[in-house]
Structures are given as structure tokens and as C-alpha cells.
Amino acid sequence: MASSHNAPTPDYAELHCISNFSFLRGASHPEELVTRAIELGYQAIAITDECSLSGVVRAHMAAKGQAIKLIIGSEFILEDNTHFVLLARDRKGYGQISKLITQARRVAEKGSYLLKRADLTELNPEHCVALWIPPADLHTIDSEALVWLNQVFPKYLWIAAELFLTHNDKQRLKQLKELSSQTHIALCAAGGVHMHCKERKPLHDILTGIRLGKAVSELAFDTFPNSEHYLRPKAKLAKIYPRKLLQETTKISQLCDFSLSELRYEYPSEIVPPTHSAQSWLTHLVAEGTQRRWPQGVSKKVSDLIQHELRLVEELSYAPYFLTVYDIVQFARSQNILCQGRGSAANSVICFCLGITEVDPERMNLLFERFISKERDEPPDIDVDFEHERREEVIQYIYKKYGRDRTALAATVITYRTKSALRDVGKALGMSLDQVDRLAKSVNWWQQGQFDEDELRGLGFNPHSPVLKMLLAAVSEILGFPRHLSQHVGGFIISEGLLSELVPIENAAMPERTVIQWEKDDLEAIGLLKVDVLALGMLTAIRKALSYINDYAPKPIAFKDIPAEDPGVYEMIQRADTVGVFQIESRAQMSMLPRLKPANYYDLVIEIAIVRPGPIQGDMVHPYLNHRRNGTEENYPSEAVKKVLQRTLGIPIFQEQVMQLAIVAASFTPGEADQLRRAMAAWKRKGGLEKFEDKLLRGMQENGYDQAFAQRIFSQIKGFGDYGFPESHSASFALLAYASSWLKCYHPAAFTCALLNSQPMGFYGASQLVIDAKAHGVTVLPIDVNKSFYDCVLEIDRRKKKIALRLGFRLVKNLSENSAKAISETRKQTPFSSVQELMDRVGLNKADLESLAAADALESLSGNRHRAHWQAQGAEPVSSTLLKTEEDKTNVMLRTPSEIEDIENDYDNVGLTLRRHPVALLRDYLYGRHAFQTRQLHDIPNGGLAKVAGLVIGRQRPGTASGVIFVTLEDESGQANVVVWPKIAEEQSKVLLQSQLLMVSGVVQKDEGVLHLIARKLEDLSFCLGELKIKSRDFH
Amino acid sequence: MAKPRLVQAPLPLEYTEQTPTRRVANHKAGPSHLWLAIQFPNIAIEISHPQAKTSASVTAQTVKGRLVVCSTSALAEETGIHIGMAVNAAYALCPGVHVFEHDEKRVANTMTELAAWAMQYTSYVSLYNSNTLLLEIRGSLKLFGQLENIKTSIKSQLQLQGHDTILSCTPSPSASYLLTCFGAEADIFDTDQLRSALGDIPIAVLDVNQKTKKRLANIGTQTLRDLWRLPKPELRKRFGNDFVLYLDHLTADSPEVQKKFAPKATFTADSVFYWGIEDCESLLLEVKKLVLKFIDYLRKTDLCTSSYRFNLYHFAEKDLTGIDINLRKADRDVDYIFSVLEKYFDKLQLKGKIYRLELCVDKLEYFHTKSETMLENTFHEETAIYSGQNKALSELIDQLQNRLGSAHITGIGLVNDYRPEHAYQFSSSATNELSHYRPDRPLALLPEASSLNVDVSLISGPERLQTAWWSENKINRDYYIAKDKAGRRLWIYHDLSKRQWFIHGLFA
């Protein structure tokens, strides 16, 4: 023993360590484990989550460049409870583990796995190290499992001795030593680590409680007796384990020589014809595209850009990536599915030539490094939006083309957020369901943020109670902990070989969908290709609108034929007449339009980007508007800066401008500038902007810029924070905003029809869309069983040259699509003359008939809603009578529905009414209360007092508006925008949040064509509405 | 001693149905029944707390994982709180609202008690639903003189008991109930008057399901009068036989069956003490009050019992002390019962404040049932724990427990807890569960760990125990087996938080 006191502490490699990606088992993030292991001077650490590699990329990033080896492995518990850990020795071993996880996960339900002994027989034992984890209970140690494992891994199997200062450590070690000498399988130390530091023990207990559905006080022996499952200092380990066992760990770690950096992504090969290389094929396609885009010949600027891009693409070998996306886009086009690339891809001329994006590089100031950068060494990210109703066709194409073993969706790690954390932790701490519920529900958009003591008291809690302190402490720790894997909205990963050997694949919640165990950031970090196949409702609406227009237009029109820069369209946009238009229809956008007055495409690009939290918080909006109004610009300290900022009058509005400024003024390389962009996006959460601050200020100083300018630029960068908007993104969106504006301006009926047929999407519901269409002179006809179809349609009277919009059955609540289609199909022969006949011929059931009656779609057969219901209720299916059913001719005394009843039922069953606006019915009463129509507000001078009442159709509390709530009221004359300051909102919160019909007294504020009513007094008039239910759209 | 009965009637274990014998055919002769509906609109609030009715209070229960309001006091209603609203929303409207658990079982028990109470007015009482009683009082009119006398008596007596009521009387049970729902206190003796009396009642109040109400609203009917205008065959076709029958019931055009209330063969009553009782003397007083209520019930129903179960609820509803008192023979003699109770409660030690006292009796017998010998009654099958060769032991334990009190005869059982001082428990029904028995732990723990003041040498350890951080009894210790100079083997620990050594147990 004496010798061990003098000997230096032996090196140690932790070989069994689970992170919080073993959901609800591990109590530390992978990064925390790696960082702590580095601090403790471990030689290596293995991340061995249970049947998962989800956390390894994060661990890999944390270990990158540090003095520690990261071993990749996984822990498994077989069906017969045999417990072992596999560690990858090399790339093949990694592939085997990944494949094994895939195999185990694919045969089980989402979130679980099933592994049998037989599943391991195909493994090549040379490529993995196996550690047998003996059971905790000494009595159940069964050498049979060990013998079997030894047959599978004859050369690289160890017995892991895990000692946790429990009563039987000594006996356990003795027993394992005996087993080792009997079987000639070496013994090694292992930590069975579940947390990086012992202070996480309470959180570990809470996680165990959540996993088992018990309160921590009920856990008894289900949790650990102490906190020894943490990363213990080497000196401490030396006291617990014999020296030899610790030395054995480093020996094992030396056997494992695999790093995630070795993963090489291989692009699918079928996208290149045999006679070409990927690069030559790409060059060929780009050349073709150039001819198509610029038939008159290409400018030198563009030609240089293309060469530059192709060179960089070749250097980084990204050609197959472009070809993969091109192939998908080509498929969509061949099927007439509208699609458009967006995001940083719009910075690329190659993408424009390939038809992936539509942003003309000559109209924009592109920054290719935002898209691909050499320093970043990350694959480019191309997001392609497809029509939301037809995206599935594209997804099926990808599956079919590359096969399910080579394609899967990226995962999204669902993590604990405040509400879910409060619920789960509260339950685990033994709080009653209603208490937990009360706490969790109060963290809604209204209260947003943290609790304060008064709030807690208001909820009936004592803020000083120990349980509450434990709760809040545990909640803040558990925030961000992964809870389960879900599927990414549309990020596909496609590989040349078996994907399961690259990353494990598991089942998603949707049948027939599979997800890999890594999410977007992991893929980016490892450098794997991801193609984003996203869904966009507006593309569906635009395609539909164009097809309706082609039904009556003399000349067919396609998306590309929409005339550019039409002054009429911009005039409409400047009036903020943009209900239904893509992106610029929100309340905030509509308030900005009359001020910014977009007059061309680039103004739209700015409009979209400027109404964002980034520019607002960075205080860029007012300076920009001032310059625009006065025709002035900022003073530029240099020509180079002027070149960057001139297009936005000297105010940096886009992310790209910040990057360019860093390049031209502070001598950043494009790659460094991109790192700056990333740091900007994350600094509020993680910090890390400081190192750029020095570099930026120093660089600008060296280039002769004064301190004040440099500081101003840096503070603007900070203000941008998370929310800076890329110009390229805005440019793609502006195209759709313009196209939808053109449709609204010149074809309002077709546009509204398309929007109605693409719901749910956008900012406004069917009711507001129809009201707006009517205001634009569109004739809207009610749903009629003898005239409507499933979709809303245009009724074209060619003789009178009139177009009307007929509402479709899709708006009828509770009517199935099949029934609706059967009605229009059956009606082709001859129209229906009675409700009974409708039932007989179409084979509808009573519920369908009653849904139609409720929607007033039977009015042409029955006269009114009450009679329609009576007849629908009395109709009998043919099968229930021997003879042909007789029409119910009984003349019963039924009341005619009142107008308000009809309106109520319209809203209730169709979601909109074509009758009078409900507020119109109350107009006399409202005049009696001295309330104006919303339209009359424009007649009141700025600063004048006014009172209006209307249905609350929206409440917004933007994060940037420091507690101000914006309410949109609607009456028969239009809409009013009400601003409620925090003080009023607080004082009158009940009325503000609960009113359906709200009367507001306040002061009229007019500014550059934008009218607001600043609320002073609110009054709930909902009682006037009776049964009418209007659903407000409340946004954060 | 009363005469023994030769033929014993079956015990009234269940409700029984009774169909009126005569169909109401001849209106001129007057209806055979007259139904008085007594609705208790605020019963749930009234029994939740003595002050609930006079403050803004609600009762609430969890529905689909959401705590929703089930009943409201008038003051709560004034603030905008309504039934079906989430409790959170209620707090938003009235932060000071008192929320009580909606205890359906207690409501049902109270209604049963009230039904039994109402039997003093007629033998035909029906427990119509969770807040309404129906009394057939045609036969009682003679006895009480006139309807008004009955109503006044009922109203005033119930008011004394703290209950709000709405009373309506018609020849149709459904109509009487419907009128109370509408808030109308009508007296209708003649079936011919029913139509006009009910005509204005809105469809929304009808005792039919929501779907039917919605469908009736869909055809534009608003009141019963609208419905009566529609041909019955057409209504039957659309709304079914049951609905048309219901309409006929309302107008007494069709006879209606009412379940007749019969006192149950079990008895449950309780008292709530919001201030909490902590001494046996006060508790005994409350126990006696309950027992008197029970004896009164026994007398009215001609029953008796030999076994009493008292549940003493502490602060948390699940935390209760149960007391079983078994008499040698079934009895209802107050003095005798009181004397037994006094002896028992005299030696009782309360483990905390009592907030609710419940008396449950589920074995009721007819008063003159056969007596059992003392020997036969000593052992109940239910209390026998062991069987076979342990029977004699169990009998001995039972006997001792009955004589000395169950708290004095206990065994030791192991509990799944890492903390040594919580790893065992005394209980009257100690089991032989020893699977977690640890030979490395001493059989005897000191009642309280004491500071280690002697020199010891460590034999084995440490065994680290760090748990129960969520409670006041959290521990953070390293345990060792040690030997002192006298050769005693000690179980000691080092408290890692206090950095002190303690002795916790001695090995044999």
C-alpha cells in the first residue's frame, strides 16, 4: 500500500459515460461532460449513450482541438438484460455501431429499441471494443452472458468494474476479480457516469422521477444512493480502484482510434451522367442556364461571378450537392409543382442559372461567401420551398430515387422549455397536478418571462417555500435538456452508400418516415449534405391563382410572365392594401408600408427585412426612414463603406452588409466575416462576440476609421443580435411578395379564391379575406348545394364579362372532402330538387346533410336554415325503406331565422358571413354610445378623441414593442388599429384579453398615412353578440 | 326488550323501483300523484365550507387534466366566474376566490341524508339527480293540511341546515323538476294547467342531452310552446321515442316511473373542522355528535350495528388515521356506545391535527338480530392476517391488540429507503418482507445518532449515502463499520455536510 501513496496518480480514460441524450437518464450535456473531463485531466472520454449516437457530435465539437481523446460508443441492454458498451475502434467499428443502433431502433416503436443476441452475430469483432457491465445486484451476476459476449468479441472484451461507494464495493470487486481469473477476461475500471459533477444529483433524481412517473420522494431504490455517478477526480479514483484497473482504461482508449472527423460524406452518384464528372456536368448545366437566363448574352460582372463560384465549388468539391438539388427542382418543375430556392442560396448565380432560385444577380448585390466559404469548410445550405399541398410528391420522389436505406430526414431535438420543464419537474417534486398546471399555464404570452414574487403569490404560492426554490433551480438547469427526437421540417440527408453506416436511423412518429439521430447543427458540424425540402403555402396559392386566371384570361400566364415593376402594384402596396399578400400583410408591415412607400423590387426587399426585431432593436428603422423621406444619406467615412451601405442609405439593414463592412473596413476575410455573422446570431445566448469586437475595432482603426464610427458599427452589430435578416432571404421573399401583390391587384377574385383554397396559411382567416375581396369589388356567392364544389371556384359569365367567387364546401364545418366531391359529381346529371333527393342520389348520411343545412348550403332547396335542418333531420336513407322514400311534405310551423341567428350560424359553421357585418346590426346602439365607424376615424384630426367598437380579430404583443399590445378591430366599414400601452393593458387586462366585441376610447394618431387609435379606455361589449363566436388570432 | 320478529323482511340494500299503479287517464278526476321537486342549487358550495356561501368561492375538480369550476357561490358568480371555466381563468377574474375540491362523494352522501330526512313528509321520496329530490305528496296533504304547510316546513327546516332550495309542485315529476331548473316556484294541481305553465320554458333548460338541444335550436324552436306546435309523429321520427315520451311526461300525458329512495344499508357522515382539532377531548365531543346523528338514523330506519369505522383526516386528504371499533353485539344504545368510545378515545394519541372526521358503517343489521357470543365475536375474518400454523399467533396478536389497542402491538417491517432511520417501520401488520435485509447493518439503531466521542478503528467503508435532498431529512454521510477499544463493533458515520462523526448503531 505504501508504494501506491508515492506513485503518481495513474492516467484514466472514462469508458462508460451517458449524456442527457440518453433521454431522462443522463443529467449532463455532452459538452459539459467533455469539458469537465478535460479539466480533470482525463486521457480520454467515451460518450456511450444508450442505443444512440445523438450526442456525439456535440461532444466531438467540444473535444475538437483539446487535449483529450473522444471515443465514440454506445450502451446497449439486450432483450435478456445483458448490459454492455461498444466502443468504436475505427471507422468500420463506428459503422457497425451505427448500423446496430439503426437495426435495434427500426424494429421498435419510436423512442425505444429492441436488440437480441442474434443481432450481434454479424458484427466483425475486430473493429469494436466491448465492455460487459455486470448487474448491480451481486446475486444476479451470471457469467453466462459474459461467456456469450466473449464468443462475439473474443479479443476485445473487458469486464467493467464500476464502484460507487456502496456497501458491497469490496465484495463486488472480489467477485469480479474471481470471474476475470476464471474466464481470462481482463477487468477495467469504469465510471458508469450519468452527470458531469455531483451537484447534478438532484436533477438526476428528478429526471429519474419524470422517466418513471414518480415523485422523487417515492423513488426509493429506483435512484442512486449517492452522487458517485459523476466524473470523479483521478486522485479519488485512485483511492477507489486498484491501479491496474485504471491503467487498463488507458490501454483500451489507445485501441480506439476513431474520430468523427474521419467521416467522409459521399455524394450520390446517379445525378451525373457516366460521361461527365460532377464538376463538368455542373459547368455544362450552368452554361445552359446562362443561355436561358440571358439569351442576349451575359454581362462581364455576371460572367466573372459564375467563374468565381464554379472555381470555389470545384475547390471544395460541392458540385454533386448542386446537382442533387437541381435534380429535385427539375422533378418538381416536370410535375408543375411551383418551387423556389431561398436563403443564402439566393446569393449564388449558379443557383440562378440552374433555376433553383429566381433572384437575378444583376438586381442584387450578392455575397457568395454568405453561401459558401472556404474558411467555414461547411457544405452550402440550399432551402427550397415547394407548394405546401404537393411537397409530399417531392418527398416520395426522393425516397424512390435514392431508396430508404440511403435517405432519411434530419432530426430536430425537442428540448425542455419553460412550460414543459415546469410541468415535469413540478410533478417530480410531488406538486399536485393543478398546482403544476397553474404554474405552467401562467407562463403564457401575456406574462412571458420569469416569475417574480408577486406573480407567484398571485398564483397562490409562497415564493419562499423550499419546494418552489427547488423547482425553479431544477427548471433553470433542465431548460435545453433534450427530451426526444422529432423530425426536421424538411431537411433530407442523402448518401451514396448505406446511410445507417454514417449515422443511426430511427423511426419517426409519422408512419413510413425515418429520421437520423443528428439534427441540423450536427450535420453542419460534421459537414454532411442536407437538402431542405420545405413547404410554403403561398406557392400553392400562387399556382392555383394562375390556373384560375388562365380559365378566363385571353393569354395563358405563368409565374415567370408576371410583369415586373408594375407601378399599379406598388401603388397598392404603398396604400398598405395588402391583406393576403405574402410577408407584407402583417400589422407591423402594413404600418410600415405607407411610410417606406416601396416603389420597386429592392424597396420590397428592404421592407421585408426592416420590419424585423433585428433592425428595430438595432435602432435602424427611423434613421433609414428619415433619410428616405429627406432624400439624404449618412456621411460615409470612405468609398469602400459607401459602396457597402449606399443601397440602404448608409444604414446597415442586412446581415450581408455587416459582413461586407467587416471585410472592407476591418480587413476580415470573407470566411471570418461569416464567423462574425454566426457569432452575431448566437451572442445573446452564448456570448462570444468579444473576440470579434477587438478584431473589428482594431481592424477599423488600422484602416483609418475613427473610434466613434467603429463603435457605432459594433453596437449596431450587437443590436442585430439573433434577428438580423439576410438580404438574400429577403430577396427571395420579395419576389413572392411582389407576385402575390400583382395577383391581388389585377385578379382579386382569383387571388382570394386561391388563398381560400390553400388555407390554413397566412395571417388572415377566410372571413377577413372575403371581406377584403368584397371591398375590392369581388362578388362573393354563398355555398350552394346545387352550385358549389369542394374548392371555392370562379363563376365566369363570359357574355357579361363578369367573374364571381363561389364559396366551396371546404369551408363547411364537419363535411368530409369525399362527400363534398360526391355532391358535385352527382349533380352533373341534373340539379337536386329536395333534401331527400340529395340524400338518395349522393348517398349522404344525416350528419353530412345537417352540416350542409348548418352552413346554409341547402337554402335553394329548403328556403331557410330552420327548414333545411328540419328536412335534413327527417330524411331517411334509401336502404332503411323498402320503397322509394317520399318527400316530407308536412307543412310544419317553423320560425324564420332572424338575421343575427343566420350570422351566428354562418360564423359557427362556415367561419365567415356574406350577410351584414355583425357590428352593423348594433350600429344604432353604438351610435347611441357615441362610437364611430372605423372608417370615420380618418375624418378625425391627428390628436382628436374618438371612440370605436369592433370585433377583435387579432391581438399582437411583439417582443420588440416593450409590452405594447396591438389590437385589430373590425366593423362593417373596415378595420382599426388600436395601440394599447402597457399601463392601460395592465389596468384593463381582463377586458383587453377577453373581449370579442371591444369598444375603445382613445386618441387618434396619424403619421404618414398610418392611423392608430391610442387606447385610453376599453369596454367589453361582447354581451351584445349573444351566441356569436369570433375567434381572435393572437400572435406573440 | 322488544318482541323478536318471526318473519324478517329483506334488508333494504338497494333502491327499489315503484311504478304508479294508476295511469292518469281521467283528468277530471285529478291526477293520482303530486310531485314536489326540491332542488338544492348550491349544495356543493354549501357543504364545502361554512363560509363558502357568503364569500367568493367555487368548487372545482379535474376534468381531462384541467381543473375546472363545478359550482360557484353567488359572490363568485358576480365576478364573472361560471361553471365549466378553468380555475386559472377564475383566479384571473377574482384573485381572492376560494377554491374547494368538488367532492362528488360528499355531495351524494349529503343528498342521501337529505332524502332520508325528507321521508318524514312522505314515504315516496326519489333521489332524482345530484341536486334534486322528488317527493310524492298527494297522500301527505291530508296530514299536513295543505301544500303550503309542507313547503313552508321544508323550506324553513332546510334553511336552518344551511341549504338554499327551489320548490315546485306539479302532477308530473319531470315538470316539477324542470320548473325548479327554470327557477320557477310553481304550484300546479291540475294536468290541464301544465301546458300553459311550461310553455315559456326555454329549450335550453330541458332535461335532454346537449345534442338534442342543439338540433332543436337548429330548427328554430326556442320554447316548449314551439315544440308543441310540431306534429308528434314527425318529432318522433327526428328525435326518437324517448324524446316524445319525455314531452308526454312533462304534460303528464304518459305515466312516469320514479325510483323510490330506500335508506342504504350503509351509513356515512362527516364533520369538517377548519380550525383543526388536536386534543382527544374535543375530538370525542365531535365523535359523539356524529354518533348521535347516526343513532337517530338507526332509530328511524330500525337498524343497528356492531362495527364502527372512524376516519380521522389530517391535513392532506390521503393522510388519515382509521379507527375500527367492534362491539360484542350489534346495538344502538347511546350510553353503551358512548362508554366504549370514551374508553377508546381516552388512550388515543393523535398524530396531528384532525381536519375532518368521518363515520362509516357498512354493516347494518335489523335491530333485533341474534346476539353472538363473546368468543365468536373476538375474531373477524377480515382482521386475520396469517393462516395455517400462524393462526394461533395471529389470534393471540388480535386478542392482544383488541385488549391493549393496536398501537401497542406492532411488528417491524423493512421499507425501501436508503436512509437507515427510515428503512424500517413499525406497523400493526408487520410482514415478513426481508428481501432487502442487509447483514452489514446493525439490527439495532440508536434512537438518535450521537456524537462519536471514543477512539475507534475503521473496519470497512465508506458506504456513501446522499439522498432525500428534497426533504428536511436529507442525509449526506459516509458510513463505516468500526471497532472501539472495548471491542464493540459500531456503525458510525461521517456527516459530510457538518463534518462531524456520529455513532448510529451497534452490532450484536
The mean pLDDT value of chain A amounts to 87
Q: Do B440 and A205 touch (CB under 8 A)?
A: no
Q: Do B464 and A226 touch (CB under 8 A)?
A: yes
Q: What are phi and psi of A411, to 5 degrees?
A: -95, 165
> Which among B65, B237, B470 has CB closest to A429?
B470
Match 407584407 to its residue by C-alpha cell.
A584
Average pLDDT of the residues in A701-707: 86
Q: Is the pLDDT of residue A790 over 80?
A: yes
Q: How many CA atoms lie within 13 A of A488 on its CB side?
A: 23
82-101 of B, contacting A, C-beta below 8 A = 87-88, 91-93, 95
CA dist A173 and A244 (Å) reads 13
B446, B503 contact by CB (below 8 A): yes
Bridge partner list, B326: B307
Q: Do B231 and A892 touch (CB under 8 A)?
A: yes
The C-alpha cell of B286 is what?
365531535
pLDDT category at B322 given cuts 50, 70, 90 is: confident
pLDDT at res. B441: 82
CA dist B214 and A90 (Å) reads 70
For the ranges A636-650, A983-997, B216-230, B317-331, the maximum mean pLDDT occurs at B216-230
pLDDT at res. B138: 87
Partners of A205 on chain B (C-beta within 8 Å) are: 467, 469-470
pLDDT at res. B156: 92
Structural Rg of chain B based on CA atoms: 31
Q: Is the pLDDT of residue A687 over 70?
A: no
Q: Is the pLDDT of residue B88 over 80?
A: no
Q: Closest Cα of chain A to B222: distance in Å?
A: 9
The C-alpha cell of A190 is what?
469504469
* Nearest of A445, A419, A440 to residue A992 by alpha carbon: A445
pLDDT at res. B321: 85
Q: Do B88 and A441 touch (CB under 8 A)?
A: yes
Q: Do B464 and A205 touch (CB under 8 A)?
A: no
pLDDT at res. A253: 96
Q: Is the pLDDT of residue A458 over 80?
A: no
The contacts of residue A411 (CB under 8 Å, 6+ apart) are A54, A485, A486, A487, A488, A515, A516, A517, A518, A519
Partners of A869 on chain B (C-beta within 8 Å) are: 215, 218-220
The C-alpha cell of A60 is what?
466531438
Q: Which helix (H) or strand (E) is A1033 found in, with range?
A: strand A1033-1035
The mean pLDDT value of chain B amounts to 80
pLDDT category at A373 given cuts 50, 70, 90 is: low
pLDDT category at A6 given cuts 50, 70, 90 is: low
Decide: helix, strand or coil at residue A310: helix
B35-47+103-250 CATH: 3.30.70.270
B231 interfaces chain A, CB cutoff of 8 Å: yes
pLDDT category at B2 given cuts 50, 70, 90 is: very low
Q: Is the pLDDT of residue B363 over 90?
A: no
Max CA pair span of chain A: 110
Average pLDDT of the residues in A590-595: 89
Q: Do A433 and B462 touch (CB under 8 A)?
A: no
B182, B201 contact by CB (below 8 A): yes
Decide: helix, strand or coil at residue A449: coil
B77, B93 contact by CB (below 8 A): no
The contacts of residue B151 (CB under 8 Å, 6+ apart) are B36, B167, B169
B221 interfaces chain A, CB cutoff of 8 Å: yes
pLDDT category at B382 given cuts 50, 70, 90 is: very low
B425 interfaces chain A, CB cutoff of 8 Å: no
pLDDT at res. A30: 97
CA dist A504 and A512 (Å) reads 16
> Which among A170, A873, A897 has CB closest to B215?
A873
Partners of B213 on chain A (C-beta within 8 Å) are: none
Global model pTM greater than 0.80: no
The C-alpha cell of B4 is what?
323478536
Average pLDDT of the residues in A295-301: 88
Cα four-point dihedral sign A952, A957, A961, A965 = positive
Q: Do A220 and B95 touch (CB under 8 A)?
A: no
pLDDT category at B221 given cuts 50, 70, 90 is: very high
User: With b meaning 16 or more CB within 10 Å and e meaning fewer, what string describes A663-684?
Assistant: bbbbebebebbbbbbebbbebe
Partners of A437 on chain B (C-beta within 8 Å) are: 65-67, 88
B182, B207 contact by CB (below 8 A): no
Q: Is the pLDDT of residue A996 over 90?
A: no
pLDDT at res. B387: 37
Give the DSSP letter string of B442-480.
-SEEEEEEEE--S-EEEEEEEEEEEE-TTSTT-EEEEEE
Partners of A442 on chain B (C-beta within 8 Å) are: 88
Q: Domain extents for chain B?
A: 35-47+103-250, 267-366, 370-437, 442-506
- Probe site for chain B from A168, A208, A434 (most B CB atoms < 10 A): A434
Q: Is the pLDDT of residue A686 over 70?
A: no
Cα distances from A1005 to residues A495, A588, A936, A952, in angstroms, run 59, 16, 14, 20
> For chain B, what percent of residues have pLDDT higher than 70?
81
Find the residue in A nearest to B472 (Cα).
A466
Q: Looking at residue B171, what DSSP letter applies?
A: S
Q: Closest Cα of chain A to B61: distance in Å?
A: 9
Strands A974-980 and A1010-1020: parallel
Partners of A441 on chain B (C-beta within 8 Å) are: 88
Q: Closest Cα of chain A to B166: distance in Å?
A: 28
Q: How many CB atoms sit inside 10 A of residue B81's CB?
A: 23
Partners of B462 on chain A (C-beta within 8 Å) are: 165
Chains A and B form CB pairs within 8 A to the count of 113
Burial of B402 (0-12, 13-18, 19+ CB in 10 A): middle
Q: Closest Cα of chain B to A886: distance in Å?
A: 14
Q: Looking at residue B394, what DSSP letter applies?
A: H
Give the DSSP letter string of B290-349.
HHHHHHHHHHHHTEEEEEEEEEEE-SSTT-EEEEEEEEEEEE--HHHHHHHHHHHHHS--
For the ranges A3-12, A343-352, A838-847, the maximum mean pLDDT occurs at A838-847
Cα distances from A224 to residues A192, A200, A206, in angstroms, run 11, 12, 12
Q: Do B215 and A869 touch (CB under 8 A)?
A: yes
Q: Do A167 and B219 touch (CB under 8 A)?
A: no
Q: Do B218 and A202 touch (CB under 8 A)?
A: no
Q: Do A441 and B230 touch (CB under 8 A)?
A: no
* Nearest of B111, B161, B221 to residue A865 by alpha carbon: B221
Partners of B211 on chain A (C-beta within 8 Å) are: none
- Probe site for chain B from A137, A138, A165 (most B CB atoms < 10 A): A165
pLDDT category at A254 given cuts 50, 70, 90 is: very high
Residue with the bigger pLDDT between B32 and A281: it is A281
Find the residue in A nearest to B66 (Cα).
A434
Phi-psi region of A57 (alpha: psi -120 to 50; beta: other; left: phi over 0): alpha
Q: Closest Cα of chain A to B100: distance in Å?
A: 12
Give the DSSP letter string of B71-124.
EE-HHHHHTT--TT-BHHHHHHH-TT-EEEE--HHHHHHHHHHHHHHHTTT-S-
B438 interfaces chain A, CB cutoff of 8 Å: yes
Find the residue in B nearest to A864 (Cα).
B219
B290, B297 contact by CB (below 8 A): no
| Range name among B83-87, B212-216, B384-388, B484-488 with the lowest pLDDT average | B384-388
* Nearest of A136, A348, A285 to residue A224 by alpha carbon: A136
Q: What are phi and psi of A210, to 5 degrees?
A: -65, -45
* Nearest of A69, A60, A73, A65 to residue A17 by alpha carbon: A73
> For chain A, what percent of residues have pLDDT higher than 70?
91
| Range name among A73-87, A256-270, A577-591, B424-438 with the lowest pLDDT average | B424-438
Cis peptide before A125 (omega within 30 of 0): no
> Which among B67, B234, B460 has CB closest to A434?
B67
Q: How many CB atoms sit inside 10 A of residue B361's CB?
A: 20
Average pLDDT of the residues in A575-586: 92
Decide: helix, strand or coil at residue A215: coil
ipTM reported for the complex, 2 dp: 0.72
Cα distances from A480 to residues A32, A417, A552, A1012, B499, in angstroms, run 13, 7, 54, 40, 36
Partners of A170 on chain B (C-beta within 8 Å) are: 460
B497 interfaces chain A, CB cutoff of 8 Å: no
pLDDT at res. A992: 85
B474 interfaces chain A, CB cutoff of 8 Å: no
Instruction: Extract the runs of DSSP E, i.e. beta strands, from A885-1030.
Output: 945-956, 965-971, 974-980, 997-1007, 1010-1020
Q: Closest Cα of chain A to B195: distance in Å?
A: 18
CA dist B194 and B249 (Å) reads 11
CA dist B130 and B109 (Å) reads 10
Q: Do B220 and A166 touch (CB under 8 A)?
A: no
In CATH terms, the fold of domain B267-366 is: Dna Ligase; domain 1 (3.30.1490)
- Probe site for chain B from A870, A900, A905 (most B CB atoms < 10 A): A870
Q: Is the pLDDT of residue B403 over 60?
A: no
- Probe site for chain A from B94, B466, B476 (most A CB atoms < 10 A): B466
Partners of B468 on chain A (C-beta within 8 Å) are: 217
pLDDT at res. A685: 57
pLDDT at res. B437: 63
A575, A597 contact by CB (below 8 A): no
Bridge partner list, A978: A967, A1013
CA dist B104 and B100 (Å) reads 12
Q: Is the pLDDT of residue B431 over 50?
A: no
Q: Closest Cα of chain A to B54: distance in Å?
A: 21
A245, A161 contact by CB (below 8 A): yes
A212, A249 contact by CB (below 8 A): no
* Nearest of A345, A357, A350, A276 to residue A312 by alpha carbon: A350
Length of chain B: 508
Q: Is the pLDDT of residue A553 over 50?
A: yes
Q: Is the pLDDT of residue B65 over 80?
A: no
pLDDT at res. B54: 87
Find the residue in B nearest to A894 (Cα).
B220
Average pLDDT of the residues in A404-430: 90
B226 interfaces chain A, CB cutoff of 8 Å: yes
* Nearest of A378, A381, A373, A377 to residue A351 by alpha carbon: A381
